Amino acid sequence: MSVLKKIINKLRTEKLVPVKCSVENGSILAGKTALVVGGSGGIGKAVAKELAKQGCNVVISGRDPEKTKKCCQEIGTEHFVIMDLSNVSSIPEKIAEAEKAAGAKIGILVNSSGVNGKFKFGSITEEEFDRAMDVNLKGAFFLCQAMGNYMIENKIHGHILNISSSSALRPAWSPYQISKWAVKGMTVGLADKLLPHGIIVNAIAPGPVATEMLGKGEGDSIEMPQQPSKRYALPEEIASLAAYMVSDLGDLIVGDTFYITGGSGIVSLHH
């Protein structure tokens, strides 16, 4: 039996699925500089790695200095800034700090910062609601606005990509779901305002992804029987699409939200 067949059989036995990247290693982002906000999280870190693999000069941001520095080592970059999106007034200066760290003008923003929670309708508190809105919506809006202003001032034709959620497909009763519905509309609105300046705005909305946020660690099974595709998405799958969308290949994708749901909310389970 070949080595490849042994690996595939092992993955099937462990209920894992081998995943191929959709883009070749190398150069679709060569010469570009990106700021990945939330780059120390599961999806954000995978996006930062993929952008770097595609030749991009990457700066990551996170709220925890030690965690962010550790992620830099894993990604292979020394460029990072500590940023808290709930501190709206600091965002423009943090973008300037990111430019200084990168040693180049920033032409790509990926906003992967976000918070979730265990919400129970009927007992959701004002504090829980405000926390979700402050980061997922308010912080995202002011980050995109500041980056839009920065790109316009520097005459940069760039890309802004929000990492949203398939929760924008579901009835919105939790603060998290409400915030993601709003991000969908905000993405369309920002695309409308910024396209005349050569700035392209889009979003990716994953379904369940095998990250720490959902209790998944490295080596854990990605089986998910209740999902039509029977598994979680991997962060690398989200990252592969993100790299395409912020490259020149994605220039005609404007104001769209790309869903990666594994069929959740789209097709029925087949037994």
68 within domain boundaries: yes
Catalytic residue among 176, 232, 244, 259: 176
Q: What is the pLDDT of residue 20?
A: 46
- In the predicted structure, residue 258 carries a pLDDT above the cut 80: yes
pLDDT digits (tens, 9 = 90+) for 1-46: 565 555 556 555 555 554 444 455 568 999 999 999 988 778 999 9
220 within domain boundaries: yes
Global pTM reads 0.85
The number of distinct structural domains making up the chain is: 1
User: What percentage of residues in the chain have a pLDDT greater than 90?
Assistant: 55
* pLDDT band, very low/low/confident/very high, at 246 (cuts 50, 70, 90): very high
Range of the domain at 57: 27-260
The DSSP string of the chain is --HHHHHHHHHHHTT------SS-SS-TTTT-EEEEETTTSHHHHHHHHHHHHTT-EEEEEES-HHHHHHHHHHHT---EEE--TT-GGGHHHHHHHHHHHHTS---EEEE---------TT---HHHHHHHHIIIIIIHHHHHHHHHHHHHHTT---EEEEE--GGGGS---SHHHHHHHHHHHHHHHHHHHHGGGT-EEEEEEESSBSSGGGT--TT---B-TTSTTSBPBPHHHHHHHHHHHTSGGGTT--S-EEEE-TTTTTS----
34 within domain boundaries: yes
Mean pLDDT of 191-207: 96
8 within domain boundaries: no
Q: What is the pLDDT of residue 21?
A: 47
Q: What is the pLDDT of residue 153?
A: 98
Query: Does 259 qualify as catalytic in the annotation?
Result: no
201 within domain boundaries: yes
Q: What is the pLDDT of residue 4?
A: 58
152 within domain boundaries: yes
pLDDT digits (tens, 9 = 90+) for 147-162: 999 999 999 999 999 9
19 within domain boundaries: no
CATH number at residue 120: 3.40.50.720
159 within domain boundaries: yes
